[in-house]
Amino acid sequence: MHKLLILETLKPFIEEEGSLLSRKNIKVLTASSGEEILKIHRAELVNLIITELKMPDMDGDKLCSLIRNDEALQKVSLIIICENDKSDIERCEAWTFGQGWRSSGRH
């Protein structure tokens, strides 16, 4: 069974009949914050995390940094949702193209 961890505020946008979330072999977990995402991922080792760039407790790029620099957590796919804003997109692209990972000490 595949495990999907999604930020609660994003779940309604991808919840519809016939969507990814309705498949029987996918366990959907929700979290209300970046800290909760980390806690659940440590316990469940999910396959995919969908989160936002801007969260009250921790930005998505910080969350990504913590996950990518923890050998026990780093084998996960991440999707970070952001506003259609140049600076937000550049922050997300840094992780997409590996710049954020390299700048945090990983090579």
Res 42: pLDDT: 97
Q: How far apart are CA 107 and CA 101, in angstroms?
A: 7
Pairing of strands 2-7, 48-52: parallel
Res 27: pLDDT: 87
Q: Average pLDDT across each block of 10 residues of the chain; the chain has 107 residues. List them in order.
A: 90 67 80 96 96 88 89 91 78 59 40
Q: How far apart are CA 16 and CA 87, in angstroms?
A: 31
Element (H, E) at 89: helix 86-96
Tokens standing for residue 33: 């914050």
Residue for token pair 């990972």: 101
